[in-house]
Structure 1
Amino acid sequence: MQLVDFPKRLLSIAETLNRWAGAISALDRKRRAKVARYADAVAETLARAGRFSVRLTAKPDDKSAQRGLMRELGRISGYLETLVGVLQHHLDGRKLAGVKRRLEQLGPHGQAVEPSASMSLIRVDRLLAAEGYFRALADSLRV
């Protein structure tokens, strides 16, 4: 997978989880709070990834921003795997398989691909949209 496709795949996962907010809201209060915390963590990480992406757009050879973006994208993958683990017994097999399949598309073992010059081409709008979906999921679980 090309690194520039990562935000599109993240947005796809975010949209999917947000569509299932009703099913997820049926979780007990403790699990809902846990999923909400993870959704918040993913949203914060997406916000940081967006900031690194903006820096790279302005200055494509910024090594610090490249490393920061890779770190945040890897962190997002880990958060999503944990979130799926929390939901494993609460979503039907088809829904869970869909999220797992999308996670597998993020890269080998849930990690993003190696950094490259194309990192500056990552679509910030998709990172921001995915952030919004995760914030909405967290908000809906707290209601």
Structure 2
Amino acid sequence: MKLNEIPVAVVPADAAGVPLNAPALLHEIADLLARLVDTGEATSIDLRSLPLTPADYAFLEEALGRGEVEVEVQAAGPTHVHETGVNGVWWVKHFNALEEVAGELLEITYVPEILKTHPSDAALGLERLRARLQSTMTPAAEGDSDAG
């Protein structure tokens, strides 16, 4: 068979409801989730860097579903995080100050990076908690704890 005799189906990019890249992306997500389970290695997929159509986004949303956890983070701009219906796969959408989408990721991880406490923040939290404990200690309370 000659090259020009091979049948090729051409699907226009603007075909209504035809996901072009999402089915392959789901296989990639499955491989990355297997890696997370086997090795603990987390990773992310930058959806904005891929040529995804609105149909691809709809396909991904339908295939991955919605999980039980949704979080709104206020940092440099609002960030919406939700667990998909596939445990270990999180949809993270960052917005700028104008509420425009600045980044959109699928994180394949146990806990998304933006939700983890930075070590320096944990150290600051410890200082604050110790200060609060110190300020709430009264001589009577200190005396009660020594009895025993």
- Common fold: TM-score over 0.5: no
Q: Comparing both structures, which one devotes a greater share of its residues to helix?
A: 1
Query: Could you say which TM-score interval applies, normalised by the shorter chain?
Result: under 0.3
> TM-score, structure 1 length as denominator?
0.27
